A and B are shown apart, each in its own frame.
Chain A
Amino acid sequence: MKKTQVAIIGAGPAGLAAAIEVARAGGEVTLLDENHKPGGQLFKQIHKFFGSREHRAGTRGFRIGEKLLEDTEKLGVKVLLDSPVYSIFKDFVIGYISDGREKAIQAERIILATGASENALAFPGCTLPGVMGAGAAQTMINVHRVLPGKKIIMVGSGNVGLIVSYQLLQAGADVIALIEAAAEIGGYGVHASKIRRAGVPIYTSYTIQEVIGKNSVEGAVIVGLDEKWKPIKGTEKLIEADTVCIAVGLSPLAELAWLAGCEFAFVPSLGGHVPKHDRNMETTIKGLYAAGDLTGIEEASSAMEEGRLAGIACAESLGLYSKEEARDLKEKVWARLNTLRTGPFGKKRRDAKDKLIEMMEGGADIG
């Protein structure tokens, strides 16, 4: 059987950052990903990132992706593409498919960086072609350069809903309504102002009642909500549209962590069930680390920092760094992570993460 020192599953921002850290410390890394190309969802992010200079704020997501790929290549990270991992067996044997065949690789350490997937929303007509994830539309316009439709309704005003609305406009589509069930916009004001300035009507306290159409989306009925989130009769509006994008959050892709036997916690503010981990991003299974959206839905910047933490800790456990060297490196990453986790959005995540880490140190279960 093939062997590797460190196997990293998922070549998105967290996995790439982890690979770079392990390789930089002198470790031998095999990075596995089910896609044809590495980079995860970074290459559809054409907007400038937030944060400080260390987070490469002001740099567009896909440029950050290019830099990560350049670094992994320079450091000699082995990347297995088109290789979906289907399970983790005893003694860290990883089962994956390549060229239509089952294969296996055994690792001394594993870092899971499997990411997240978009949530769906149930309403009559939600399965009609033309109803799709906002991230799906983003992939189509920014990676594959194809418009999913011309007249688009966006459901959800978190950062994904706001950013993708703007990017749909940039790609030449009309965003004819952005609807949000809450009374206030969910994402950053700066993103909301951009689409407001572009003339997109924003309906807060509105939800989607149904989508109509024979073989694909032809329109949607939206309805106002009262303070108890109940539809208000008489406020229904029929909007003609050919596409409805759903931006109502993401869920961690945690299957492999479940299969490996990790202990989980249910933390709604992190997106649902997440594997418990400590400050080294090590899970309840010794030698198995997790990083990025899998351990709680955040942004690519935080995913990269978590990947770095996991990579450094992993290298330390293999004796590639002394305790002191690793401590200094990890402290720097934690300082950056903590700045990312500030403000009304970041604070909530920081508190949730702190609790998750406390649980590993013997604290009370928050699930």
Chain B
Amino acid sequence: MRVKHHPILGEDKRKENVTIVVDGKKIKAIEGEPIAAALMAAGIRVFRKTPKKNQPRGVFCAIGRCTDCVMTVNGIPNVRTCVTLVEDGMVIETQKGLGKWRESR
């Protein structure tokens, strides 16, 4: 959910002006925001599954330190989504385990 109105920061005038593809589904995002923010705004919380026990993981630190939020982005695994900005047409996948490298474009 986006914070549109804020008593201190005011109105958020940015528009959802790009489209990203998350596990095959199109999602609107704001140019310049991190992938994790776009996913959180869309209500997505599970970013990857752990290699051994297949347990869900999501955002923990949001500043690029903990690597809990890594996903496969444009075929590249282990991308920190909290510090990687969205681009129009970006293909994002829930990462299984350590992920696989793949040529996507």
Contact = CB atoms under 8 A, between A and B. Distances in A.
B56 A118 contact: no
Contacts of B61: 117-118, 132-133, 135-136
Nearest to B8: A46
Interface in A197-217: 215-216
B40 A148 contact: yes
Given A35-B83, A36-B85, A140-B40, A129 B3 contact: no
A216 B46 contact: yes
B3 A127 contact: no
Contact of A129 (B5, B58, B82): B58
Nearest to A118: B61
A145 B12 contact: yes
B1 A136 contact: no
B65 A117 contact: yes
Nearest to A48: B8
Interface residues of B, number: 35
Contact of A139 (B8, B57, B63): B63
Contacts, number: 99
Interface string B39-65: 011000111000000011111111111
B34 A144 contact: yes
B105 interface: no
Given A215-B46, A216-B45, A146 B6 contact: no
Interface residues of A, number: 35
Nearest to B49: A215
A146 B59 contact: no
Interface string A256-278: 00000000000000000000000
Contact of B47 (A120, A128, A129, A172): A129
A360 to B, nearest CB: 29
8 contacts: A117-B66, A127-B68, A128-B56, A129-B47, A133-B60, A172-B1, A215-B56, A216-B45
Interface of B: 1-9, 12, 14, 33-34, 37, 40-41, 45-47, 55-66, 68, 82-83, 85
Q: Which 6 A-B pairs have the closest CB atoms?
A: A129-B58, A136-B62, A144-B37, A129-B45, A216-B45, A139-B62
